[in-house]
Structure formats: C-alpha cells, structure tokens
Structure 1
C-alpha cells in the first residue's frame, strides 16, 4: 500500500501489529511514520512511543521491549531506523541471535505492540530468512519515487492546504531546480509558503530566488558544455563548483555517472524503449531519464563513449597523483575539445 492507503486503513481502525516501510523517497517515509505515530494518542506518546536507531542501539535491546504492555493505553509503538540486516550489505554475524528472536516474534507478534521497520533502501535481500518472515507478517508500505506528474499534483495539493497557489511557470521552475525530486520539493515548501504569506502566490522568480540548484543539475550543465566543446562554459561551471567547496574527485565521479546514464539511455532509445521503461530498467528517477532522453538525440555515441573513457582515465590519474586533482578535469575538457566533433548518432 502507499501512504494514502495507509492513512485510510488506520483511520478505519485497521491497525496491524507489524509495518515495513520500504523505499528511498524520504519525504514519503516521514509522512508514513507520521501517520503511524498518530496510532498513539499525543498524550500517551511519552510512555508508549519509542524510536530506535539500530546504528546506535543493539537489536537485542529492542527485542527486550517488544512484548511489554502499553502504559494506560491500547498500543505501544516501536520504530526501528536503519535495519541494515535486511539488505545484502548488512552484517548479520554479531546480531544473529537477536535477528532469530525477531523472526520468532514475527510468527506471533504481540497484539498490543505496533512494530515499525523503516527500510529506506533501494532493495532488500529477499534471500534472507528475516526478510521472508517480514514480508509474510508485515503490512508493506511502499514509498517509491513519484513520477513528475504525481509530484506536481502532490506539491500543488500541499501548497493548497496552506492557501498558497503556485503558477505553472513557478511549478516548472521548482521541478527543474529539484530535478523533480519530491523530497527536495517538499523541503522547499516552508520557504515558498513564507514568501507567499501576504500574497498567497508563488511564481518562477520566487522559486529561482529561494530554491538552490542541485549539484546534479550543475553537473548536467557541465556535461552539455563538454559535449558542445564549449571550453569556456565548462571550465567556468567547474570552477564555480570548486568555489562551493566541492571535491574534484567527487565531481569527476558525478560526471562519469551522467555520461554513463546518457550512453545507457541512448542505447535504450534505439531499442524501442519508452522513457518510463528505460527509467524502470535503469532504476533511475524518471526526470533524469527525461533530461537525458532530450540530450542524446543530438549526441554521437562515439563522442559519449570517448568522453566517458577519457574521464575514467582522468580519475585514475588523479587518484594516483600523476595529475593534479583540480587540473584533471580542465585537462580532460581541453583534450576532448581538441578532438573532431562527430555528428552521426548511429552506432
């Protein structure tokens, strides 16, 4: 179920003993946790609501509490953050006994305890016994990233609740500034609402003034400048990011990621995939695929693969110290710009 369905079920009194919130959309994760917290009346939360970060608290300490009765209330709620043992990278050895206790608990959970696990990971390790037990016992709440259309509707609805109207150009600007990242859009709402306190209106100018560009947006501009052999623009954009204390190696890594995405999207586009199907296959936010889809129409495959290979070699040289870290990207831009431009898209 999604967050809206979760809210409806709880309002209808359908409270499950175990919930597993999965997905990486942080704004929706927080909305789901807020809905679940409301199961416990506000005046009872001090005694009957607890939240544990499993990076700081051992799981066995939590398992000692799950069977405790609520204090003058109908339910106790326990929320677990960072249950890394549900993923392929999570360590099990040190907490194997506690994990086994959790699996046993899931066979017959306490009727007066609401156990919530927040698994904000791209995927869980379905092979693990504890994951299988959770999927069988828990009510699943999915918080997958919203599409651009869904994000637009949700943001308009959120602002409408605060009696704020955002015009079409303003919403376009917000989408562009956040690359349609719903969580980033939600984070910008308090500033936009404050701006609109007197007028009740938000336009593109307000968004541009109040919402900073994301780093990935700047990297996308750098890639476009590189592919157009616009040396001055690429170097200016790079130096601006260095002035913002961005690390050269991190920027090179992000550039590699963007070039890799462009190559993958170009291949998918020639194989008849839709943008949505490509985003699903690549497990990438649909808005990033949308931008890449527009770009690759004018780009030669050989240019993309050459730039990517040159970037990888540049990164290796920077890590080995044979090229100065700050100069590495500048040398790459100059060397790539010196190559003849290709116009054919076929490969």
Structure 2
C-alpha cells in the first residue's frame, strides 16, 4: 500500500509543485482524495486555496488562477478535480485548444502555485499532457492492491483502532466487503462502533456487516447450484420485499453466469489468473476486479460449460417473457430458478 505511505506525511510544506492523484480503485481513490485534502489543509473559505470542478469550470478561469499571484501568502494551492482529460475515459471537459494552453502552462508552471490534480481512472499515456506530468509531477495511483497487501494494511488499521480479529474473521470481512478498499474502511468503522470490547468474531461479521445485493445473488446462485429451492425462493421473497425487481435480479444472475463461462473458457485455454483479468478487461472495455476472477475460477470448477449455456438461455428467455408480459413475473422468475436448478 505504497500510495498510503506516500501521503501519510504530506503537508502544505512538503506538497510538490504538481501532485496528481489517479487510479481505477474507486474506493481507495476517494479515500486518498479526502486524505490529501485534509493533509494539505484545504479550506474552501481560505483564499490561498482555489478549487475547480472540471465538469463545470471554465478553463479561462482556471488558467487565470494558475498564473495569478497569491494574495496573502508566498504560495497558493490550486485544485483541479475530475480532470478526466488526462485519462482513458471517453468524457472530455477541455477543448483541443484548451489542452494545448494547459500543456503550455505545465511546461512553464508558476513558481508561486502548487497544483493538485484529481483524475479518477487510468492515465492515458499516449497524451502529451500525461507525458509532461509523468516527467515533472509526483503521481500517486490508487491501484487495486494485492490480496495480501490489503489484508496486511487492514490488519494494521484494526490494531490502531483497538480491534482484534479472532480466527478467520478478517478474511470474512474482506470477502463480505468484496475486497473493496472503500467498503472495508466503512465496515471497519462500523465494527468499531458495534463491538465495544474490540473482539471481532465470525458471527460479528455476519450479524453486523450488511449484505450487499451481490452477496445475496451469490448466496442465491449457490442455493440454485445445490438445488436448495425452498431457501432460494425464501431469499428471492426477501429481496422482493426490499424492493428488488426480477429484471434486475436476472441481469445480475446473467452477469455472474457469464463471468463463470468466460473464466472457464480462458482457463481451459491455458491462461493464468492474471491473463484472464487482462483478457476480460480488454473484452469488456473496463477494468475487471481481480478478485471477481479469483472467486469465479474457484466457483466455476465444478460447473460445466453446457450447464452455464443452458442456464443463461433460461434466464434470457425469462427476461424476454417478463418484459413481454406473457405471465406474472413472480411466477416466471420462480419457474426459471427451478429450470436452472434441474439443469445442474
């Protein structure tokens, strides 16, 4: 977790002339952004700080602020948020001419301005703007950490908070949080408030950490595969009471079975786990969470491609029937669960 170490001692005094925070791990990115803002003492009422949301700001105003002298100090800090023009995202906020003007500024930045850039996503290394920043700026990347690094970091965080995980409780917290940095931060804080004695056991994780829809769909999938139909129907009933729609449930189930199929095919072709992550990311056009692949590989081993193909066809046909209004959607969804279970 080098990124956290990089900002731990960051202050106004140690802030480099240009600092860029980027990365595809959304939870970690948002946490790092808050920490950086806190560490440099950002205060919207302080005239030595200027904040621009690039989704709304005019570049004319940004450039004027970049080159103007500070009023009450020797230096001022300019923050550019959501500068997606640096990333591979299709969204752009600056025109080609404005990008050239910004490049010109970066080649000769003001000595009295400290520039902080928040650009969520993956930096586009082909852009001249990014090449300039890689040459002259300090870049902090919120990259998806390895499982062991994540476990080590949150184990340390727990100790600082006076929490002690008993047995496999930490592993269960990681699993229930989807190995997501942001969710782990929130759930750790929740457990701190939940258990006054600081002893966190497996049952505490199950009772205190709320299940996500993805958790419930995972449970539903396991029930179907194990033909525990009564339990599956009871879970679906609970999800309906929570306001979840059958169309949405089908979409997530389809996504899960599709992931099983893809990793199984790539695995049978001889691809390693990391190669499968790369292949799926290229196929989908977005960064695939490595932990999704890890668990999909584990859970798909005992499932045949023939079953997965049949299960997806059943769900697709059910989705069509529900949207077409052929029968009651509750009946159609329950029937689909039975068909998929019987196909195992």
TM class by smaller structure: 0.7 to 0.9
* Structure 1 unaligned blocks of 5 or more: 342-347
Residue 183 of structure 2 aligns to a residue whose secondary structure is helix
Residue in structure 2 matched with residue 210 of structure 1 by the alignment: 208
Residue in structure 1 matched with residue 306 of structure 2 by the alignment: 302
Q: Distance in 2 between matches of 1:327 and 1:134?
A: 57
Contact 1:25 1:144 in 2 (8 A): yes
Residue 67 of structure 2 aligns to a residue whose secondary structure is coil
Give the C-alpha shift of residue 299 in structure 1: 0.7
Moved more, 182-191 or 319-328: 319-328
Residue in structure 1 matched with residue 269 of structure 2 by the alignment: 271
Question: Which deviations, in whole Å up to 9, do the C-alpha atoms of 1:223-243 show, x marking residues without a partner?
Answer: 223333443333322222222
Q: Distance in 2 between matches of 1:178 and 1:185?
A: 6
Q: Distance in 1 between matches of 2:89 and 2:12?
A: 36
Residue in structure 2 matched with residue 344 of structure 1 by the alignment: none
Residue in structure 2 matched with residue 140 of structure 1 by the alignment: 139
Give the C-alpha shift of residue 328 in structure 1: 4.4
Moved more, 302-311 or 16-25: 16-25
Residue in structure 2 matched with residue 292 of structure 1 by the alignment: 296
Q: TM-score, with normalisation over the residues of structure 1?
A: 0.82
Contact 2:314 2:336 in 1 (8 A): yes
Q: Distance in 1 between matches of 2:67 and 2:10?
A: 22
Residue in structure 1 matched with residue 21 of structure 2 by the alignment: 21
Give the C-alpha shift of residue 264 in structure 1: 1.7
Residue 180 of structure 1 aligns to a residue whose secondary structure is coil
Give the C-alpha shift of residue 321 in structure 1: 4.6
* Structure 2 unaligned blocks of 5 or more: 281-286
Residue 168 of structure 2 aligns to a residue whose secondary structure is helix
Residue 90 of structure 1 aligns to a residue whose secondary structure is coil
The alignment covers a number of residue pairs equal to: 337
Q: TM-score, with normalisation over the residues of structure 2?
A: 0.83
Contact 1:51 1:81 in 2 (8 A): yes
Residue 21 of structure 1 aligns to a residue whose secondary structure is strand
Contact 2:70 2:112 in 1 (8 A): yes
Question: Which deviations, in whole Å up to 9, do the C-alpha atoms of 1:114-164 show, x marking residues without a partner?
Answer: 32222222x344454544444444322111122222221111111222222
**In structure 2, do the counterparts of structure 1 residues 39 and 175 end up closer, same or farther at CA, with 3 Å as the change threshold?**
closer
Q: Distance in 2 between matches of 1:320 and 1:87?
A: 38
Q: Distance in 2 between matches of 1:90 and 1:44?
A: 27
**In structure 2, do the counterparts of structure 1 residues 77 and 331 end up closer, same or farther at CA, with 3 Å as the change threshold?**
farther
**In structure 2, do the counterparts of structure 1 residues 81 and 297 end up closer, same or farther at CA, with 3 Å as the change threshold?**
same
Residue in structure 1 matched with residue 91 of structure 2 by the alignment: 90
Question: Which deviations, in whole Å up to 9, do the C-alpha atoms of 1:282-325 show, x marking residues without a partner?
Answer: 34323322322221121111101221233234334444555655
Contact 2:164 2:200 in 1 (8 A): yes
Q: Distance in 2 between matches of 1:125 and 1:313?
A: 40
Residue 66 of structure 1 aligns to a residue whose secondary structure is helix
Residue in structure 1 matched with residue 49 of structure 2 by the alignment: 49
Moved more, 105-114 or 293-302: 105-114
Q: Distance in 2 between matches of 1:71 and 1:159?
A: 43
**In structure 2, do the counterparts of structure 1 residues 81 and 320 end up closer, same or farther at CA, with 3 Å as the change threshold?**
farther
Contact 1:219 1:251 in 2 (8 A): yes
Residue in structure 1 matched with residue 32 of structure 2 by the alignment: 32
Matched, 1:258 2:256: yes
Residue 141 of structure 1 aligns to a residue whose secondary structure is strand
